[in-house]
């Protein structure tokens, strides 16, 4: 992560030859505030947006890391008292949604990409605003854990009805969150009423996450239909190894593509389709090389270091665990015992 920021700050600008090159603000932010990125806290200063100005997509890493730090405490409460363990993240989720609604109203935030408002500073980046999807995932994970512990299942006579009902709810949630604001945001500035805009800001991402959670529950119970079949294809397990690096690398690829252009960009569906295909292909290729020559060697070194440091603690269990890891992971994957919903539809909404 930090290596990519260094490369983006000092190497990529040296390759820019086009007349549209302009990264001065971002380069300055990285040079002066890189340590906030290193500590994963750059998104907790909404009144000082320059601290989050270094490598914009890193907001997600900072928020996700902070959510990760809080998860053990939520799980500890759940193990101590299951009812309280579910109520706590639920209350935190409601508090976050309420805060987002109030901030959107007070700061007059606008969800439209080209509307002038501090939307990113006060809603899009801060972790206390973006927590609901993660908390919803934790709640659903806890619920499904209890479902499995009690060996429950959907009765056969109700399976079709449950599947149909949840499919309709999922379709409504997905449709309303992805296209609900599209018509109002076609113009510049957008024509959406402030009341509707505030509700959309506060509710769209939690609603999307509930839809994803319901879809996963159907898949875990064998009711996913064609969606479950598609998501179970082995291809996704290979692609998933590249997604982290692709997310981190794609700003550099886009910078190389567009800041080196010698002529203005004119929109057409064909032109942007080819640009998209080129960007995705180049990003995936670079991510594959990074995974092969950076991530895998470092993971091997980490495994070796951990075995050296803690080998006396793990003892003979380490070998047994290593040989059975793949089988246990696949079993858990099939049964749906691992669940994480950190889903964010903001990138799609904003056209990032």
pLDDT (tens digit, 0 to 9) for every residue of the chain, 352 residues total? 888 899 888 988 888 777 877 788 888 888 888 999 999 999 998 888 777 788 889 999 999 999 999 999 999 999 999 999 999 999 999 999 999 999 999 999 988 877 888 898 899 999 999 999 999 999 999 999 999 999 888 898 999 999 999 999 999 999 999 988 888 888 778 888 889 999 999 999 999 999 999 999 999 999 999 999 998 999 888 888 999 999 999 999 998 888 888 888 888 899 999 999 999 999 999 999 999 999 999 989 989 998 888 875 555 444 554 444 444 434 444 444 434 444 444 444 444 3
- Tell me whether residue 90 is exposed, middle or buried, using C-beta atoms within 10 angstroms of its C-beta: 0 to 12, 13 to 18, 19 or more: middle
Question: Can you tell me the distance from the alpha carbon of 149 to that of 147, in angstroms, rounded to the nearest whole number?
Answer: 6
- Which pLDDT belongs to residue 325? 42
Around Cβ 32, how many Cβ atoms within 10 Å? 13
Question: Can you tell me the distance from the alpha carbon of 257 to that of 276, in angstroms, rounded to the nearest whole number?
Answer: 11
- Which pLDDT belongs to residue 62? 94
State the sign of the Cα–Cα–Cα–Cα dihedral 316, 320, 325, 331: negative
- Which pLDDT belongs to residue 314? 52
What tokens appear for 144 in the block?
């499904």
Q: Which SS3 state, helix, strand or coil, does residue 236 take?
A: helix
Question: Can you tell me the distance from the alpha carbon of 230 to that of 125, in angstroms, rounded to the nearest whole number?
Answer: 32
Question: Can you tell me the distance from the alpha carbon of 338 to that of 164, in angstroms, rounded to the nearest whole number?
Answer: 24
Question: Can you tell me the distance from the alpha carbon of 173 to that of 167, in angstroms, rounded to the nearest whole number?
Answer: 10
User: Which pTM value belongs to this model?
Assistant: 0.81
Beta carbons of 62 and 43 less than 8 angstroms apart = yes
Beta carbons of 43 and 52 less than 8 angstroms apart = yes
């Amino acid at each position: 992560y930090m290596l990519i920021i260094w490369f983006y700050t000092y190497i990529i600008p040296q390759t820019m030859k086009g007349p549209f090159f302009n990264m001065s603000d971002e380069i300055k932010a990285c040079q002066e505030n890189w340590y906030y990125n290193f500590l994963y806290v750059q998104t907790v200063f909404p009144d000082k947006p320059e601290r989050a100005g270094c490598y914009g997509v890193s907001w997600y890493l900072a928020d996700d890391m902070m959510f990760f730090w809080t998860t053990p405490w939520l799980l500890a409460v759940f193990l101590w008292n299951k009812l309280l363990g579910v109520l706590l993240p639920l209350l935190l989720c409601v508090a976050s949604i309420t805060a987002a609604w109030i901030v959107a109203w007070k700061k007059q935030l606008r969800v439209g990409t080209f509307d002038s408002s501090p939307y990113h500073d006060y809603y899009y980046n801060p972790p206390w605003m973006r927590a609901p999807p993660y908390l919803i995932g934790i709640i659903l994970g806890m619920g499904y854990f209890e479902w499995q512990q009690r060996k429950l299942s959907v009765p056969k006579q109700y399976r079709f009805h449950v599947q149909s009902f949840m499919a309709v709810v999922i379709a409504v949630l997905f449709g309303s969150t992805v296209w609900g604001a599209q018509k109002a945001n076609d113009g510049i500035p957008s024509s959406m009423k402030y009341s509707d805009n505030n509700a959309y800001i506060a509710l769209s991402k939690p609603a999307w996450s509930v839809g994803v959670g319901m879809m996963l529950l159907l898949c875990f119970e064998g009711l996913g239909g064609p969606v479950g079949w598609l998501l179970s294809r082995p291809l996704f397990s290979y692609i998933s190894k590249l997604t982290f690096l692709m997310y981190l690398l794609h700003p550099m690829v886009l910078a190389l593509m567009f800041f080196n252009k010698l002529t203005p960009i004119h929109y057409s569906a064909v032109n942007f389709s080819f640009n998209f295909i080129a960007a995705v292909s180049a990003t995936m290729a670079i991510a594959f090389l990074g995974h092969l020559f950076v991530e895998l060697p470092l993971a091997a070194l980490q495994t070796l270091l951990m075995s050296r440091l803690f080998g006396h603690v793990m003892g003979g269990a380490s070998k047994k665990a290593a040989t059975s890891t793949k089988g246990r992971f696949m079993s858990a994957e099939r049964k749906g015992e691992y669940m994480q919903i950190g889903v964010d539809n903001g990138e799609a909404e904003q056209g990032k």
